Amino acid sequence: MDKLLRQFIEVATFKNVSQAANKLCLSQPTLTHNMKKLEENLGVQLLIRSSSGVRLTEYGELLLEQARMMQRIYDNTLIKMDFLKERQERSLKIGTGHAWWHMFLRETFEQHRRQHPTANIHVDLGNHLRLMDLLLSGDIDLFIGHEIQGLNPRAGVSFLPLLSSTDACYVRTGHPLLGRVVHQDELQHFPYLELTPDEPRYQNVMEDMQPKQRERLQLHVTERIHYSTNSIVTAIDMLAATNSILVFPSCMGSYFARFDVRPLNLKEPQRDNMVGIYLMREKVEDPHIMAVLTLMRRHMEQNRHLLE
């Protein structure tokens, strides 16, 4: 808002130039000069000066009424601009696998929302190759997922390790393999259920597909009936309706137990995976991103007993 109008509001409110000058931290001669300048700019007399102070002319009364309205509009505009600035500077676009949302990222979301109630937040759940594609295109700021073996080293991303995760094989209660020790080769006789499978259109982020191909060979994926979905709710329904087997992080056991889905007792140990945060290298020291990572690590540590 124009400084002369702000000063005029104070003079008109106090009806005294000296008191208004004290509040505005100005000298009385400076404020008197500014009021005369405002009158010259408008071409009308606003104030009638006397030894006891000032009173408003008809023009002054009109200007005071309108100036106070402009002051309110201006102040409200500044408040809205601060909200918009907060929303833009503290906005968060994050990707994650289903397991990590349930294990600790949901709490990070809640804490971030409480700290920055005006900020926009978008969470994208899915396969790590799809999330990597979103990261490279700038659609998300970071994502949490398994370390991608064979990733193109020229992608310009950093991987910050968080934890080591072991897989388990989940089946419905009543599955033929449940309740005894199961050998690895027995699994191939049952349908393979894949949650958030790799999509060929996102293989451009890979330099070497052999690690993924070896993984699928070990699971005998091409030799088995294959179900797939990108929804954890749908995967649970598929498990309940079939004898399929879902390979998923063992830390999700308590979550799946709510839906009568149990891990098999496998004789051979399952593979370990490193889970971490992927983000663009240029954002590794971004203060906002670092604050989010600190929140994330804090909630992960609080849930460490569930993740092991």
Same domain, 154 and 184: yes
**Any idea what the CATH number is for the domain that residue 62 is in?**
1.10.10.10
Same domain, 73 and 141: no
Same domain, 79 and 135: no
Q: Helix or strand or coil: residue 276?
A: strand
**How much is the pLDDT for 305?**
66
Same domain, 131 and 232: yes
> Residue with structure tokens 């600790």?
104
Same domain, 167 and 52: no
The Cα 72–Cα 66 span in angstroms is 10
Question: Could you tell me the residue range of the domain that residue 64 belongs to?
Answer: 3-88
Same domain, 97 and 222: yes
The Cα 130–Cα 125 span in angstroms is 9
Same domain, 166 and 196: yes
Number of domains in the chain: 2
Report the percent of the chain where pLDDT is more than 90: 45
**How much is the pLDDT for 209?**
65
Same domain, 265 and 300: yes
- Tell how strand 265-266 and strand 53-56 pair up: unpaired
Asked if residue 122 lies in contact with residue 93, where contact means CB atoms within 8 angstroms, the answer is yes
Q: Which of 71, 88, 105 is the last residue of a domain?
A: 88
> Residue with structure tokens 């968080």?
162
- The region of weakest confidence among 31-35, 124-128, 277-281, 285-289 is 285-289
Stronger pLDDT, 203 or 170, i.e. the higher one: 170
Output the average pLDDT for the chain.
Answer: 87
Same domain, 129 and 221: yes
The Cα 276–Cα 274 span in angstroms is 7
The Cα 160–Cα 272 span in angstroms is 17
Long-range contacts, 36-42 (Cβ 8 Å, 24+): 37/4, 38/4, 38/5, 38/7, 38/8, 41/4
The Cα 57–Cα 48 span in angstroms is 7
The Cα 92–Cα 214 span in angstroms is 35
| Burial bucket for residue 36 (CB in 10 Å: 0-12, 13-18, 19+) | middle
Section 262-287 average pLDDT: 88
83, pLDDT greater than 70? no
Same domain, 139 and 287: yes
Same domain, 138 and 229: yes
Q: For the chain, report the end-to-end CA distance as a whole number of angstroms.
A: 58
Longest dimension (CA), the chain: 103
221, pLDDT greater than 70? no
β partners of residue 55: 48
